[in-house]
Structure 1
Amino acid sequence: MIGILVQLALSWLIAFLFARKNLSVLGLRPTAARLTDLMLFFALTAGFCALANLVRLHFTGEQLQLNPKFSFQLLLDGIWWNIKSVMFEELIFRGVILYLLIRKIGAMPAILISAIGFGIYHWFSFSVIGNPMQMLIVFLTTGCMGFVLATGYRKTFSMYIPIAVHLGWNFTHIFIFLQGPTGNGMFVTTAQHHFRTDSYFTFFLVIFGPLLLMLLVNYLLIVRKNNLEVV
């Protein structure tokens, strides 16, 4: 929590020094439209993430069971951990810096810089430095995610859509299906099996299909929104 407060303080300082603005550029003030976006994009993204994991479980033959350690406190801890991690990344990549870049160099160059930075950042957070194939996959998937999230900010000049999409995917993937670094989640698998197939198309469809479909659907919904003018 202290880290996020520090980020917000730095965001205010940067906005004031370089644009004579305040934290309003983050678009965090709740409105009916923003809260609707939050619920819609969170639910949509969580649904696609659940689909991705269920498809993977089908092909690996793994079975889910409720985590014996699951409790209400564990649920609260999981929600809070994911909110903190998402907010940390969003304030860096879809916060004041993106706002200033949009003002200085235009929307598309700013979005591309944000997406590229998001992809490179995940080389380090996923610890794939030194493995070219994994670096390429991580860069393309998280870079595309970053592009959609940055577009969501540009369309609304609010962080609600980026937070909703990011949190919907992370919370479902990491906490519900225990596919992340926390070590505890809602469900556990009864046995660990690796997905094997002789078809590259099937492998791609199972591993990346739901993610790419989620990004496409979210992007199409985002671009239908009217552009807000940068101020």
Structure 2
Amino acid sequence: MLGLLIILVISWALLRFVEKKNIDVLGIIPSLNRLSQLVLGFLIITLITLINIYVETQVLNVSWKSKAIDYAMFLNAFIYHLKSALTEDLIFRGAMLYVLIQRIGAVKAIWLSAIVFGVYHWFSYGIIEGRLILLAYVLVVTGFTGYVWAYTFYKTKSIMTGLGFHLGVNLINACFFESQPYGEILFQKVSSIDVNDWNWLFFNLFKGLFPSIATLVCLKFLLKTKLYSQTENTQS
């Protein structure tokens, strides 16, 4: 929590002294409209992630074992992933991205944010000394995810929808797969088949890229609706 507070203070200072703006240009101060965007983002990515897991179940013939719901663990996992997602979003899609958009333009800023987000996952996954193919895969998959979420921030003028995406994908995956400190919250994989060579490559590219592609399609559809026509964004 202290780390998150420090990031908020740094974000406020960066926006105030560099751009002469209030931190609310990040669309971070809660309101009914913004909370609805957070929930909508969460629901959209939940559906997309469940589809992705269903495809994996069919392709790999996965057998799942359901677990008794531990409500305390689920709540702790929710809070943990909310803090984690908010921290990363403030760093990669917060004040710094806002400043970069103003200084070098949206296209360059979004791509730079995406690349840095991808490289960051080399370290967070502990694969910095891994094989080139693995590094390239992680950079492409997480980098494209970072691109979609940065684009979401730029188009919606708020961190909330992207935060919903981020929270949802992390939490739902933690319900099915091993993860630290919370994993396999609701289900445990019992067995699956292996795929090799090109089949492995194509499957993992689909698994890694489909959620972000589907998210981008949904976002573009939403942007054509009235949902974001009156996005709150204080400029002072």
TM-score range (shorter-chain normalised) is 0.7 to 0.9
How many angstroms apart in 2 are the aligned matches of 1:2 and 1:112? 29
Q: What is the 5 A alignment of 1:189-200?
A: 189-196=188-195, 200=199
Q: Distance in 1 between matches of 2:209 and 2:141?
A: 11
Q: Distance in 1 between matches of 2:146 and 2:189?
A: 33
Q: Does 1:85 align with 2:81?
A: no
1:19-98 aligned within 5 A = 19-68=19-68, 70-98=69-97
Aligned residue pairs, count: 229
**TM-score, length-normalised on structure 2?**
0.85
Shift of 1:143: 1.0
The separation in 1 between residues aligned to 2:120 and 2:230, in whole angstroms, is 28
Deviation at 1:205, TM superposition (A): 6.8
Q: Aligned with 1:191: secondary structure?
A: strand
State the 1:125 CA deviation.
Answer: 0.8
Separation in structure 2 between the aligned mates of residue 99 and residue 86 of structure 1, nearest angstrom: 18
Q: CA deviation at 1:103?
A: 1.1
User: How far is the alpha carbon of 1:183 from its aligned partner?
Assistant: 4.4
With the length of structure 1 as denominator, give the TM-score of the two structures.
Answer: 0.87
Alignment pair present for 1:129 and 2:128: yes
Match of 1:3 in 2: 3
Task: Identify the residue that residue 162 of structure 2 maps to in structure 1.
Answer: 162
% identical equivalent positions: 29
Q: Note if contact 1:93-1:114 (Cα within 8 Å) is conserved in structure 2.
A: yes
| Alignment RMSD (CA, Å) | 2.6
Deviations 1:133-160 (A, max 9, x none): 1111111111111111111111122101
Give the Cα–Cα distance (whole angstroms) in 2 for the partners of residues 11 and 209 of structure 1: 30
- Closer, same or farther in 2 for the Cα pair 1:32/1:190, shift >3 Å? closer
User: Distance in 1 between the 2:133 and 2:66 partners?
Assistant: 34
Letter in 1 for 2:180: P
Query: For residues 72 and 93 of structure 2, what CA distance do their matches in structure 1 show?
Result: 30
- Report the AA paired with residue 14 of structure 1: L
- The alpha-carbon distance between structure 1 residues 195 and 206, as it changes in their structure 2 partners (threshold 3 A), is farther
1:141 aligns with 2:141: yes
Using the TM superposition, name which of 75-84 and 125-134 deviates more: 125-134
User: Following TM superposition, by how much is the alpha carbon of 1:106 offset from its aligned partner in structure 2, in angstroms?
Assistant: 1.2
State the 1:209 CA deviation: 5.8
The answer (yes or no) to whether the contact 1:93–1:118 under 8 Å persists in 2 is: yes
User: Following TM superposition, by how much is the alpha carbon of 1:184 offset from its aligned partner in structure 2, in angstroms?
Assistant: 3.6
Q: Bigger shift: 199-208 or 135-144?
A: 199-208
User: Within 5 Å, which residues of 2 pair with 1:100-119?
Assistant: 100-119=99-118
1:161-209 CA distance string (max 9 Å, x none): 11011111111112x1134222444223252435315753862575346
Letter in 2 for 1:182: P
**Unmatched runs of 5 consecutive residues or more in structure 2:** none
> Could you tell me how far apart the structure 1 residues matched to 2:144 and 2:189 are?
33
Q: Which amino acid aligns with 2:102?
A: R
